[in-house]
DNA sequence: GTCTATACGTCGATAGAC
DNA sequence: GTCTATCGACGTATAGAC
């Protein structure tokens, strides 16, 4: 993965940056963005505030890097699962993998929430529904389903349902998120893919 | 509506509090929680920071009061619409009224988002799904539908879908939220209430 | 190239005068 | 009921040690 800076990085810099990102994910997930000060991040990493700002130009840049790290993990896992499933089964694979991955990585969920709500990263989050809409469109094609479906709305409802289930499983660890995933899969199969 | 403090309030204090809540809703909706300082609130209200903190013990108390104000408005309007509709039609009325109300009051939406994500007001937001689950259960009873449905998951999916649609209509004013509401109503009618 | 020391402005909050 | 004055903590910027 290439560096966010223009030039190549030293080994030590690479290591420091990775360490700072790890520490930031941990702290933001546990205490939230606002309660995670540069001082705390620096202290956890064993350097000073200014030391942190040598590697990242601002607190927000650091949090954005942590956010990108978490997103790339999710995209990699869910993308692989979707590709492994056929086009017709991609939506179900998306739902199941997304929910189980986020269920297994609560720190990542909190990181995603904090990063999205604490900054205007609306750029990439703006059209998150488009990926899901494409999945639905391809699945309908593969199944030979005609008729016009409002793909954007369908994708938004699907995505919002996933978010909501994940948030609840985070709030109540006893909640059965995989059962909820199956309910959502059934809803999509019978309501959007038929 | 009784005061949040223990004793009765003077007329001027009541007016000041109402003014501060109004100003806070406006500023938080436009600039977000973090960018809305006590200084800016005070300036917009024509007094100083310390003056604001005489009426509310902390910034968060003020934001919570603004949050409560917005919530009570939504609950009043949606509650009335749900009651006007019969039990069998309550879920559809809930979806339509909630989406159209929030679509018409974007300031309220931003206020709700900021208040929920900036504090641990998990107390009341914790079991928001319960109200929707009751609506679904009553509607199923009224229609004579048997079989066990995971009401919590169904309610979470429904609520998440609404949130997602509202958020999108806020991001893209050209988006047809009422069409999305109808899609969601159809999904609930055919997938959860049949 | 990597980091510390120091300083500036702003924030939320408190104490006490009027 | 509102003010001024002040506090500690925060994010950020710069200079310079090594």
Residue B189 exposed, middle or buried by CB count within 10 Å (0-12, 13-18, 19+): middle
Could you tell me the sign of the dihedral formed by the alpha carbons of A129, A135, A141, A144, in that order?
Answer: negative
Q: Which of B165, B167, B190, B189 minimizes the C-alpha distance to B179? A: B165
Query: Tokens representing B193?
Result: 């209430």
Residue B153: count of CB within 10 angstroms of its CB = 26
Nearest to B187 among A157, A162, A175 (CB): A157
Q: What is the pLDDT of residues A82-120, one digit of tens each?
A: 999 999 999 999 999 999 999 999 999 999 988 777 765
Provide the whole-model pTM: 0.93
Q: What pLDDT is attached to residue A123?
A: 53
Domain boundaries, chain A: 11-191
Gap between the Cα atoms of A172 and A166, Å rounded = 10
Architecture of domain A11-191: Orthogonal Bundle (1.10)
B150: which chain A residues are within 8 Å (Cβ-Cβ)?
A: 179-180, 183
Question: Which of A159, A175, A187 shows the shortest C-beta gap to B187?
Answer: A187
Helices (H), B85-192: 90-104, 106-118, 122-125, 128-142, 151-171, 177-191
CA dihedral B106, B108, B114, B119 (to 10 degrees): -170
- Most A CBs within 10 Å, among B113, B131, B156, to test the A interface: B156
Q: What is the pLDDT of residues A18-44, one digit of tens each?
A: 999 999 999 999 999 999 999 999 999
Give residue A4's pLDDT band: very low, low, confident or very high (50, 70, 90): very low
Q: Which tens digits make up the pLDDT trace of B93-145?
A: 999 999 999 999 999 999 998 887 776 555 566 788 999 999 999 999 999 99
> What are the residues of chain B with a beta carbon less than 8 Å away from any beta carbon of chain A?
34, 113, 117-118, 122, 126, 129, 150, 152-154, 156-165, 168, 171, 175, 179-180, 183-184, 186-187, 190-192
* Interchain contact, A192 vs B192, CB within 8 Å: no
């Amino acid at each position: 993965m290439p560096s966010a800076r223009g030039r190549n990085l030293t080994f030590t810099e690479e290591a420091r940056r990775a360490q700072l990102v790890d520490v930031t994910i941990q702290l933001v997930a546990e205490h939230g963005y606002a309660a995670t000060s540069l001082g705390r991040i620096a202290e956890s990493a064993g350097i000073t505030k200014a030391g942190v700002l040598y590697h990242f130009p601002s607190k927000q840049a650091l949090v954005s890097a942590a956010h990108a790290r978490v997103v790339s993990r999710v995209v990699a896992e869910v993308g692989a699962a979707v590709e492994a499933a056929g086009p017709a089964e991609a939506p179900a694979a998306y739902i199941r993998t997304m929910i189980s991955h986020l269920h297994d990585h609560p720190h990542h969920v909190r990181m995603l929430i904090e990063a999205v709500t604490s900054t205007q990263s609306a750029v990439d989050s703006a059209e998150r529904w488009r990926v899901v809409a494409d999945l639905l469109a391809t699945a309908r094609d593969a199944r030979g389903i005609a008729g016009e479906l409002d793909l954007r709305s369908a994708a938004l409802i699907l995505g919002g349902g996933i978010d909501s289930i994940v948030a609840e499983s985070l709030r109540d660890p006893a909640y059965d998120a995989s059962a909820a995933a199956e309910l959502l899969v059934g809803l999509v199969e019978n309501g959007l893919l038929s």
